[in-house]
Amino acid sequence: MHPLTYAQTHHDKFLEELKTFLRIPSISTQAEHKADIERAATWLRDALLDAGFLKAEVLPTTGHPIVYAEWLAAGSAAPTVLIYGHYDVQPPDPLELWHTPPFEPTVVGDNLVARGASDDKGQVFVHLKAAEAFKATTGAPPVNLKCIFEGEEEIGSPSFNPFVFAHADLLAADVALISDTHILGMDKPSIVYALRGLAYLEVKVTGPDHDLHSGIYGGAVLNPINALCRMIAQLQDADGRITIPGFYDKVRALAPDERAELAKVPFDHAAWLKEAGVKADWGEPGYTVIERTSARPTLDVNGIWGGYTQPGAKTVLPGEAYAKISMRLVPDQDPKEITRLVREYLLRIAPPAVTVEVRDLHGGDGAIVRRDSPAMRSAFRAYAATFGVEPIFMREGGSIPVVATFQKALGIETILMGFGLPDDRLHSPNEKFHIPIFYKGIETVIRFWEGLRDAGV
Ligand code: BES
Ligand code: ZN
C-alpha cells in the first residue's frame, strides 16, 4: 500500500485521536494549567512513539517542557527535516461566546471546533499521521525526521529560543518544516514566505497614591487614565502611521516586483469585511489591505484598564492605569530596539504629574524565507498535486519567531506548510480546523517528504 492510500483510508481514526489531544486544556499563559501542559507534552510524546518515531522524550525547561523526537532511518544521504510546532494554546476567553465547549472538540459540519484545533495542535498532528502512514506501509519515512514541539509559543517562547541556540547539534537539519499558518482556501493553496515580528510591552501610569473622590480632587490632580490615553494617542496618527521617532528607520521597503506579486493574491473586499465583522477597513494610506496586514508594521493596544469598571457609576479618580501594547514588526525591525524607542518616547511625553513605567513582555523577529530553494519547489509541487491547483506565494501578518531563530542558530530555512483557513478564528471563540484540510494536509506532507528525498535537498 502507498502511504497516501493509508492516509486516505484512516480518516476516522485520525480525527478521533486528534480530539483526544484537543481535550487537554494546555493553556501556556495560565499557571493553573501547568499540569495540563505537562499532560499534553506526555500525550504528544506517546503519540509520536505510536506514529513510529524511534525516540521521543519530554525535555524539561525552566518554563514549559519541550517534546523532542527523531526517526533517523532514511540514511545519511537522505535529507533531515526538522519539524516544529506548538502544543500550547491561547486561553479560550471569552467563554460565553463559544457555541460548544472549547475543550470538548465538536464536529460542526466540515469543521472540528475546539481551542487549538487549527493553532496549532491539529496542524502538529498532521505530521504525526504522515509519519504513521509511512510506518504502516513502507516501514519508515523517506527522509530523516526530527520533531521539536514547544509549550510556550503563545507566550513568546522564553525557554525555547535559548534551547535552540544551546542544542544546535541535536537540532541540525537540512530544512525546517512548520505547519502553523494559513492557506487561502481549499481551491486556493498558498505558501507563506514571510511573517511579521512582534514587540509587546506593558505600560503602567501611576498618579495619586490612593484613589481620590473625583469631585474633591478632579481638576487639580492628573488622572492617570486620562494621561495614559493622551500618551497612547500620540503613538499613532489617525490613519495608523506610527509616530514614534525612528520607528520606520529599519523597515524593509516593499520592492515593486513583490508588490506586483502580492497584488495577485486573490482578495474579496466584501468577504474580508464580513469575516472580520467590521463595516470598513482602516489603515496606512498607499497600501492595500493585504500589504497592511502582512508587510507593514502596526501598533495595537491589546488591553487597557484602571479605575472603576463594574456596573453602574462610581465617581473616582484612580491611582493607576495600565495598557498592554503590541507592535507587529517587519524585517529588519529589531524588537529590542523598537521596545527601547517606544520606552524612550513614552517617558519623554509623560506628563510630569504622573510616573510612567514600561515593561518589556516579550518579542520576536519577523522573517522572510527564500522562494527559490529546492525545498520550496518540493513544497510547491506537494500542494499542487494534493489540491489540484498551483499554490501562490504570500506573506502573513502573524508571528512565528522561531523561523528567524532557526535561520540564526541552525543556519537553515523554514518551509511554512500551513493548513489553516483564513476563517479559523485563531485566538478567538469557536476556533476550528477544517476537517478536509486536515486530511489533505497529511497527503501534502507525505508528498513533500517524498519530493525532498527525490530532490536530495
Ligand atoms: N499560528 C500563529 C501565528 C500566525 C497567525 C501565523 C496568523 C500566521 C497567521 C501562532 O501560533 C501565534 O499566534 N503566534 C503569536 C506569536 C507571539 C505570541 C510571539 C502571534 O502571532 O501572536
Ligand atoms: Zn497562536
| Residue 426 alpha carbon to ligand 2 centre in Å | 6
- Does 28 sit in the ligand 1 pocket, CB within 6 Å? no
Cβ of residue 181 lying under 6 Å from some atom of ligand 1: yes
pLDDT score at 156? 85
Burial of 400 (0-12, 13-18, 19+ CB in 10 A): buried
In the DSSP assignment, the letter for residue 170 is T
CA 400 to ligand 1 centroid distance, Å: 6
Q: How does residue 455 score in pLDDT terms, banded at 50, 70 and 90?
A: confident
The CATH architecture of the domain made up of 197-251+297-362 is 2-Layer Sandwich (3.30)
Range list for CATH 3.40.630.10 in the chain = 3-195+366-453
Whether the bond into 372 is cis, omega within 30 of 0: no
106 CA distance to ligand 1 centroid (A)? 23
Digit-coded pLDDT (tens) for 387-435: 999 999 999 999 999 999 999 999 999 999 999 999 999 999 999 999 9
180 close to ligand 1 (CB < 6 Angstrom): yes
Answer yes or no: is the C-beta of 154 below 6 A from any ligand 1 atom: yes
What cell numbers appear for 153 in the block? 509559543
3-195+366-453 folds as Aminopeptidase (3.40.630)
pLDDT digits (tens, 9 = 90+) for 134-167: 999 999 999 999 999 999 999 889 999 999 999 9
pTM for the structure as a whole: 0.91
pLDDT digits 0-9 by tens, 92-116: 999 999 999 999 999 999 999 999 9
For ligand 1, atom 9: residue with the closest CA:
398
Closest by CA position to 72, among listed 4, 179, 167, 173? 173
Numbered ranges of CATH 3.30.70.360 in the chain:
197-251+297-362
Rounded to the nearest angstrom, the distance between the alpha carbon of 94 and the centre of ligand 2 is 16
Cβ atoms of residues 48 and 147 within 8 Å: yes
C-alpha 38, offset from chain centre: 21
